[in-house]
Amino acid sequence: MKRDILDKLIEWKNSGRRKPLILSGVRQCGKTHTLREFGEKYFKNVCYINFEADSKFAAVFDYDYDTERIVNEISLLRNCKITDGETLLIFDEIQEAPRAITALKYFCENRPGLHLACAGSLLGVALKHQNISFPVGKVNRIKMLPMNFKEFVTAVDGEQYIKLFSSWPLGREIPPVYTQKLERLLKEYYVVGGMPEAVKEYAETKNFETVAQIQDEILADYADDFSKHAPVSEIEKIRLVWDSVPKQLAKENNKFVFSHVKEGKRAHELEGALQWLKNAGLVHLVELVQNAESPLSAYADATYFKVYASDVGLLCRRLGMGYKNYFEDGGLQTAFKGAVTENYVLNELLNLSYQPYFWRSGNSAELDFLFDNSGEVIPVEVKAATNTQAKSYKQFCKKFKVKSGFKLSLKNIAVNDCEGTATISLPLYLQWNMKSFLCGEQESNPAFQP
């Protein structure tokens, strides 16, 4: 299955400022497979080390940080030739070998010609809770997320739609022959999500029930991680917070409230548990801003936030929403539909490398997302269906006089003026191409002028 992150790995390979790479991401999102595929395609040979599966390799780093000695011993133990410029050396589950993490500093300084890539599912957790000397400034970092909608469509034999809509004219309405298919693919993605094993199964069998079994196994593995890797004092709190995330997201006012996790529990008792889930990549936090000026990070309120799931398919599974809710007549669309759609939009924004926030004005208005783009603040209103009436979006545009924004829904593509803001009505299934409308194309389109 084609992953967009391969392009970033190629850039890293050819970069003049290349350093040892750390590829982080939630467990089972495809890091190991992608690195090995990258190595097989673009290097003469690959030397793969998994510190979790084979502890003897961690011992190689116990003596000293002499990179020549380390490479020679790894080459001997693995029986593979390691040559600068020709070999991709992969350190997998590197969080299990703290001294290997520290050694990256010396690989950067003393062996810059070697392509060294590291992966770690719980690296963020390990760095927070173990005494690890991290090589600040001596590594390149890339974060990997579950498969996005574009990757999902490509995997299920729909690549022709990606090619077609990569350059779809902004002023041209999308005909039903495409909207019907793309809306169905979007619903399939909501249910299947972006975990590679689930996507692979669905691409091959189109069997939602087997996909659900795979999702249950992944969720069980996550729960096991709580017991294996979290401090004993935090395990039960992590489970409580983890169980609370989908419930709170499905509420109309979906600000995360610690007292709703368990009666009697206060924020200071549960903050560590939520941070553990964030460090593990299992949840994303979106903070409130009330003053929508760039840079938004300067106005973010870290005490007031929403919590989203890392994968929309796993969220659907945890909410008890399956294919019947989306594909069978009379299937309950429920209040959860809005939560799933909102989580989908958040994940797609992250895949586009945007840092989203949300805006609220007292109790009178709330905007789902906004993000910085080249010094401009871009507002985003999210609707699960075709109703795009959005009082909060209008109020936001009137107050902050932003140049452009988006309404994401199932409504057809269009451009309208809202209080002086050029507003693109973009179908949810085309969000992956959002950047193309923010890179100068709109200025050349007369319809885009407010």
Nearest to 367 by CA among 352, 354, 383, 355: 383
Q: Is the distance from CB of 95 to CB of 123 less than 8 angstroms? A: yes
Give the model's pLDDT for residue 448: 39
In the block, tokens 């087997």 appear at 210
Name the least confident of 17-26, 321-330, 357-366: 321-330
Which helix (H) or strand (E) segment holds residue 142: the answer is: strand 140-144
pLDDT at 135 over 60: yes
Q: Do strands 283-289 and 300-309 pair parallel, antiparallel, or not at all (unpaired)? A: antiparallel
Give the model's pLDDT for residue 86: 97
pLDDT at 159 over 60: yes
Which helix (H) or strand (E) segment holds residue 35: the answer is: helix 31-42
Give the model's pLDDT for residue 336: 84
Give the model's pLDDT for residue 146: 98
Give the model's pLDDT for residue 130: 66
In the block, tokens 């007369």 appear at 446
pLDDT at 449 over 60: no
Region 198-211: what's the mean pLDDT? Answer: 97
User: What pLDDT band is residue 445 in, cutting at 50, 70 and 90?
Assistant: very low
Give the model's pLDDT for residue 327: 78
Angle, vertex CA 188, rays to CA 436 and CA 287, nearest 5: 55
Amino acid sitting at position 333: Q
Average predicted confidence (pLDDT) for the chain: 91
Give the tens place of pLDDT for each residue, 289-338: 999 999 999 999 999 999 999 999 999 999 998 888 887 755 555 668 89
Q: Please spell the DSSP secondary structure of 371-439, one letter per residue.
A: EEETTEEEEEEE-SSS----HHHHHHHHHH--SEEEEEESSPPEEEEETTEEEEEEEGGGGGGGGGGGT
pLDDT at 132 over 80: no
pLDDT at 443 over 70: no
Residues 6+ apart with CB under 8 A from 445: 170, 171, 415
Instruction: Using DSSP, state whether 358 is helix, strand or coil.
Output: strand
User: What pLDDT band is residue 162 in, cutting at 50, 70 and 90?
Assistant: very high
User: What pLDDT band is residue 188 in, cutting at 50, 70 and 90?
Assistant: very high
Distance CA 62, CA 97 (A): 10
pLDDT at 423 over 90: yes
Region 237-244: what's the mean pLDDT? Answer: 96
Give the model's pLDDT for residue 129: 62
Q: Please spell the DSSP secondary structure of 208-263, one letter per residue.
A: HHHHHHHHHHHHHHHHHHHHHHS-GGGHHHHHHHHHHHHHHHTSSS----GGGTST
Region 113-126: what's the mean pLDDT? Answer: 88
Domains and CATH numbers, the chain: 5-144 (3.40.50.300), 149-448 (no CATH)
- Cα dihedral across residues 193, 197, 203, 209: positive or negative: negative
Distance CA 360, CA 304 (A): 11
Distance CA 418, CA 402 (A): 10
